[in-house]
Amino acid sequence: ITTPTLRYIEEDSADSPQQPAGPCEVEWQWSTGFPSLANDRPIRTVTMKFTTAILTVALIGVSFSEAFCPTSLPSNARVTQSLLSSSTADVDVAATALPADFQAARDMAHESLVASLPTPALEKPLTYFLDEYMMALSQAAANGSKNPDGSDITAQQAAKSMMTALGYGVKFGIKDKFIFEDVRHKALRGPKGDKRYEDPALAQKLGTEFDVDFYEAGCAFFRPSIDIEKSVVLGQDNLKKALEQIKAGENVVFLANHQSEADPQVVSVLFDSISEEIGQLAADLTYVAGHKVTTDPLAVPFSMGRNLLCIHSKKHIDADPETKPAKSRQNMSAMNSMLGGLKEGGMSIWVAPSGGRDRRDVDTGKIPIAPFDQKTVDMFRLMGNKSKVPTHFYSMSMVSYDLCPPPDFVEAGVGEQRNVRFTPIGIAIGEEIPNIGGAEKRHLFSEKAEETCQQGYVDLLKELGMESYIP
């Protein structure tokens, strides 16, 4: 994935998309109807040329929380966009047609979506996400990938999964916004065995989704877009050692690089592929989460299904000086809550010490790991020591960039453009990081953790045939 490319598919008209008419503020309304599939319709393709400068403008994400610019597209047009290179030269823009069944399902889903919108202004970002997902799952189907029960991946499955995800996003991210009131959020997986569901307030929040397992819903959404057959998990012996330490009542912290919004689902899908017991470890993991995953409308329902420590990352805490004191207090509260969990023992934590996702180098197309923040690593070591319970640290190298490529540059707001690709992914668990450095040379521990993560990352890229991404 290296050059910005726009793929434009047109059925009847040669009209090009019109320019945005201007900003406007909108409200969101939603209906959940999903029509049956219509007859297949023929598609003809057109080839266009755009300069990278034009494409840069076209690829700017639209925030759900801010004003939208309405864009008028031909009613029968499908637009998909891919980040495929950073070249400044002109690039050919060619259409890639969906298979007939996926095109029909996509069209019906799109019609249902558009009919539910109060203004065409909201159509563009959601249509883009729909097109990305349908293309990814059509490639999975063509590849012969299967669902966990052995059934085929189908167009109807793709459309239903996307419309369900959008429905959850609208309900819990916009209309009846779900507030993560506790800094330590526990996954919402349905009422069985969970006394929280006896609280009428939670029942009112969830409404008709009272019985939904949001953890499994998130996994089910991303699992079909992962080429599991070609994916890899390295360092499984180290992972099994960590599991035994957790079972013995000790704590484990995974210091990871972070590449995509789907990283929690990446962990779950790959751990599930090893064994049921390792899969349960993925479900039990507590993720240190920044503000975007608890405030972005599309991210909220996926976050509802995860154990989270809700914090504000170092990269974004200074974005608004007026709210910095409140953010700092929340972070302190989150650390105190984490300390309580560590004192109980048997806690497993996933944290990205970089404070954010790895970003592509737009000049080279390579994807370096974002540097670890030593103070973050020091904080987790301090909490482990204060807990008086043995706490072990492992690096977790992740290759998941192509699954959901993030924007090339850090954005403080929410509502970024969503990309989805059918691709293999990888995780490497390094050996336990030795307790080196002491109080005087704490940087040695952080450097060792980052070095181990870097080596695992390179090993993964080589194993996956993605050497071009190696920095």
Helices and strands counted in the chain (H then E):
14, 13
Distance between alpha carbon 23 and the CA centroid of its chain, in Å? 28
> Which is it for strands 286-289 and 348-351: parallel, antiparallel or unpaired?
parallel
Q: Which of the following is catalytic: 40, 176, 211, 320?
A: 176
Which residues, 6 or more positions from 305, have their beta carbon under 8 angstroms from its beta carbon?
Answer: 187, 188, 189, 213, 214, 215, 216, 217, 218
Among 330, 373, 331, residue whose Cα is nearest residue 381: 373
From CA 113, how far away is CA 121, in angstroms rounded?
Answer: 12
Which H or E run contains 426? strand 426-429
Q: Are 449 and 429 in contact (CB under 8 A)?
A: no
14 touches 96 (CB < 8 A): no
430: Cα separation from own chain's centroid: 23
Residues written for the chain:
471
Closest CA to 367 of 393, 398, 342: 398
* Number of C-beta neighbours around residue 148 at 10 A: 13
- The DSSP-derived string for 154-176 is -HHHHHHHHHHHHHHHHIIIIIT
Helix 374-387 / helix 443-463 crossing angle, nearest 10 deg: 110
Other Cβ atoms within 10 Å of 36 Cβ, number: 6
Q: Which residue has the tokens 């190298």?
A: 397
176 counts as catalytic: yes
- Catalytic site positions: 176
